Chains A and B, each alone.
Chain A
Amino acid sequence: MSDVPSRALRDTLRDQLERPPSGCLDAETLAAWCDGTLNRNDRAIAESHVTTCARCQATLAAMAKTAPPASPRRWWQTATVRWLLPVAAVSSLAIVVWMNRPAERPAPFEFEPAATSALPAASETPPARERAEPKREERSAAKAAPTTAPVEPPLALEAPAPAAVAREEAPLPAQASAQAAPRADSFRTALSETVVILPEQRTADRSAAFAFRSSNQNVQWRIVAGVTVERSTDGGSTWQTQSTGATGRLTAGAAPSQTVCWLVGMGGVVLVSKDGRTWQRVEFPEAVDLVAIVAQSDSTATVTTADGREFSTTDGGKTWR
């Protein structure tokens, strides 16, 4: 018997998915689904929704694709062996114990004061094998004992998506420099584009989005939360996220032109963008925390370490002195 054409089946399923869903699952519920922590009732509700919701189904599919690979199962971890091994071990133990059982005979009557006994009483310290193997009844009781299921909050459908992030605008370079005045004086050079963010200031200031302008007033960069790098070409009205590939925390930046920007961060991270869009990692001789940078071009820059030392390059970071 020929089967239903896959393409026709897919089209039909897709058509039925496109019907507008009533309310999507929130990330918390989707994550609980993937972790298998939804209870049966919530799971049924979620399953019913996902069956007809294109967005949630696609999200679950995306999560399935991003799931960390399961550790390969060894032969002794297969379901059959997992059951067989303990059964075989208990059976073997029972046979050995039965075969080595001493012949039952009446013990000779001896009066022995407990305090002078040289041998420990058998009841006080059972043999190691006995200690290791709990009695079958105990295991059964443990299995039969009801487990207290965690009380879960009811299934949540997604709340209305929060409005677009109304990000706090970072202080202008002049303001930032004024705030950082005590230590910035030693770092500051002739360039007005440079912004120095000191560790103390980062810790105290939780707005944590600081921007620095290029020579073109409309072109700005900013570092958000020490992690995200964004660029604006309209004077800070809108921002586009840029992927730098850096994994450490970023602490300062300088933009000598509208297409060139330098960033420094913890652990000797130095990054440079020469086209205003893509970022390259620049090798730095020490894995020290860098707290400030001034740059004149895409090849010339001076960075300052957390302990106050300065390193300069005039060849785009190939060499530092």
Chain B
Amino acid sequence: MREDDLELARLCADGDERAWERFVREYRPILYRAADALDRTQGAREIADSLYAELYGIKTADGERQSLFRYYQGRSSLATWLRAVLAQRYVDRVRVERKTESLSDEERADNSVEPDPERTRYVVLVRQALGRAVAALAPRDRLRLGCYYVQELTLAETGRVMHESEATSSRSLARSRKAIRRDIERQLRDEARLNDDQIAECFASIADDPGPLDLKQVIYE
């Protein structure tokens, strides 16, 4: 329990001016550094600035001021908690923006049609097998893959999220990919009744398939 941080947060929430001054002095640079790391174009800084109003507590409910500080319980450092709040706000904003963008992407994708029944079948088979293989992984392995491939973190950052070393992350990612590959091959062989040549063709199809997600950029590793 972070007693010092908790006390500072409590004083700020109670309206202690000196505590607030100290908070601004000590934590504003931390918040700004985090905002700059998220977005260099001032977008995150605006979110950081807007947080102060809520932290200070100008909102009133039933005549009482409510401060965002009351959500802080001291289970982490105050600095990390502030980064978490900032990151949540930033992610929410980005997700709203991406939803708008993805709609226009889908509209464009509807126009791209490339009929090739055999290849389409292979792509569907591999995608289904891939989905099942990923779903069968342990949550921790899926999370690691998500951090690296979806969130596009570096190995070091992935390791930071997973609380493991960069080397361990790298080894684990490679192990997961091999496991996925083996699982896909097994499914194609046992359930779709494909032979080795057809399986190889399946992988080639998904690598070449432009699809709605532009798989032309796919590179075998």
Contact = CB atoms under 8 A, between A and B. Distances in A.
Contacts of B19: none
B195 interface: no
A17 B86 CA distance: 22
Contacts of A66: 33-35, 37-38, 83, 86-87
A225 B219 contact: no
Contacts of B143: 47, 50-51, 57
A81 interface: no
Contacts of B84: 27-28, 30-31, 34, 59, 63
A31 B5 CA distance: 13
A26 B219 CA distance: 38
Interface stretch (B49-57, B103-111, B113-121, B186-194): B49-57
Contact of A166 (B59, B92, B135): B59
B38 A65 contact: yes
A153 interface: yes
A101 interface: no
A247 B61 CA distance: 30
A172 interface: no
Interface residues of A, number: 76
Given A8-B218, A31-B83, A243-B46, A17 B21 contact: no
A203 B19 CA distance: 12
A8 B126 contact: yes
Interface stretch (A130-138, A186-194, A204-212, A292-300): A204-212
Interface string B25-54: 000110011110110001001110110111
B73 A153 contact: yes
Interface string B149-160: 111110001101
Best-surrounded residue of A5, A48, A68 (most CB of chain B within 10 A): A5
A227 B24 contact: yes
B131 A57 contact: no
A209 to B, nearest CB: 5
A47 B140 contact: yes
A51 B221 contact: no
Best-surrounded residue of B57, B58, B180, B213 (most CB of chain A within 10 A): B58
Given A9-B180, A57-B146, A225-B53, A27 B130 contact: no
B134 A35 contact: no
Contacts of A88: none
A13 B53 CA distance: 37
B125 interface: no
Given A7-B213, A9-B149, A67 B160 contact: yes
B163 interface: yes
Given A5-B215, A13-B150, A227-B49, A208 B131 contact: no
B218 to A, nearest CB: 4
Best-surrounded residue of B81, B90, B178, B181 (most CB of chain A within 10 A): B81
A187 B44 CA distance: 37
B29 A247 contact: yes
Nearest to A249: B24
B10 to A, nearest CB: 15
A57 B150 contact: yes
Interface string B125-148: 011001100110001101101110
A27 B88 contact: yes
Contacts of A61: 147, 151-153, 157, 161
A37 to B, nearest CB: 6
B75 A64 contact: no
Given A3-B178, A60-B151, A227-B56, 8 more contacts: A9-B130, A9-B134, A10-B150, A55-B91, A60-B147, A64-B157, A166-B60, A224-B56
Interface of B: 1, 15, 17, 20-21, 24, 28-29, 32-35, 37-38, 42, 45-47, 49-50, 52-61, 65-66, 71-73, 75-77, 80-81, 83-88, 90-92, 94-95, 126-127, 130-131, 134-135, 139-140, 142-143, 145-147, 149-153, 157-158, 160-161, 163, 177-178, 180-181, 184, 203, 206-207, 213-215, 217-221
24 contacts: A2-B220, A5-B207, A5-B215, A8-B127, A13-B142, A13-B146, A31-B80, A34-B84, A34-B160, A50-B143, A55-B88, A57-B146, A57-B150, A59-B87, A64-B161, A65-B37, A65-B157, A152-B75, A153-B73, A207-B58, A227-B49, A230-B53, A241-B47, A241-B50
